[in-house]
Structure 1
Amino acid sequence: MINRKLLVAAAAAIVAAGGGALAVVPALAATKTVTVKDNVFAPTALTVAKGTTVRWVWRGRAAHNVSVSRGPTRFHSPNKVRGSYSKQLGRAGTYAIHCTIHPGMKMTVKVR
């Protein structure tokens, strides 16, 4: 993980050094959390910027998974009862996500 203070200090040092140097500072990617409850994702719709990490956190009693049925890239988490699963979404588009154990359990993630 990038240390934000270190990144800011490095950028400031480059600018202070002058000499025509151009500082390019990468945007710090965000993390959004989705709760996996019994038979529902919360929230059921999410819009994020490219490069955002989405973290699904299990809070119910039943086993569930996170599976992309349609989208720019596909991924599938293991079946879980507790814990979390994270995926960095680097391709723009709409991801239709569901739990393969409970087909009515759906959500949409739009990546811009």
Structure 2
Amino acid sequence: MKKYLAAGAATAIAAGALAIPALAATKTVQVKDNVFVAKKITVSKGTTVKWVWKGKAPHNVKVTKGPAKFGSKTQVKGSFAKKLTKAGTYTIVCTIHAPGMKMTVKVK
């Protein structure tokens, strides 16, 4: 009897574990005065990339090359997030401080 109870409990635990949704991945990039911190990142499809403003100057985030186009408004504080669902390499700039303020995001 104990053997059947243990097997039933193991099955219930395994089934419950499968029912729990996976946490969505998020990668954070800081937007400081005239630099993205990090210059290059690699993420999996479905990851949300979040840019967080940390400096005192206004900046924006704009894709200039990549499998999808998106961009943020120009702001001094706050954040902007985008879930990346298309594989490829994205070139991202701050249009105010381009061409020097640039980064790449590789999505696998």
TM-score by length of 2: 0.80
Distance (whole Å) between structure 1 residues aligned to residue 21 and residue 85 of structure 2? 14
1:62-77 to 2 correspondences below 5 Å = 62-77=57-72
User: For the pair shown, which has the larger CA radius of gyration, 1 or 2?
Assistant: 2
Return the offset for 1:15: 3.0
Give 3-state SS (helix, strand or coil) of 1:15's partner. Answer: helix
- Number of matched residues? 95
Distance (whole Å) between structure 1 residues aligned to residue 19 and residue 65 of structure 2? 35
Go from structure 1 to structure 2 and tell me whether the alpha carbon gap of 1:54 and 1:60 turns closer, same or farther (over 3 Å shift). Answer: same
In the alignment, is residue 56 of structure 1 matched against residue 56 of structure 2?
no
Per-residue CA deviation, residues 30-71 of structure 1 (Å, 9 max, x unaligned), is: 000000000000001000000000000000010000000000
Distance (whole Å) between structure 1 residues aligned to residue 45 and residue 68 of structure 2? 13
Corresponding residue for 2:24?
29
Distance (whole Å) between structure 1 residues aligned to residue 92 and residue 104 of structure 2? 6
Q: CA RMSD in A?
A: 1.9
More helix by share: 2
Corresponding residue for 2:35?
40
Corresponding residue for 1:15?
15
Identical amino acids, percent of aligned pairs: 61
TM-score by length of 1: 0.78
Give 3-state SS (helix, strand or coil) of 2:15's partner. Answer: helix
Per-residue CA deviation, residues 3-25 of structure 1 (Å, 9 max, x unaligned), is: xxxxxxxxx57837xxxxxx677
Per-residue CA deviation, residues 53-107 of structure 1 (Å, 9 max, x unaligned), is: 0000000010000000000100010001000000000000000000000001000
Gaps of 5+ in 2: 1-11
Corresponding residue for 2:102?
106
Go from structure 1 to structure 2 and tell me whether the alpha carbon gap of 1:24 and 1:90 turns closer, same or farther (over 3 Å shift). Answer: farther
Distance (whole Å) between structure 1 residues aligned to residue 32 and residue 39 of structure 2? 11
Gaps of 5+ in 1: 1-11, 17-22
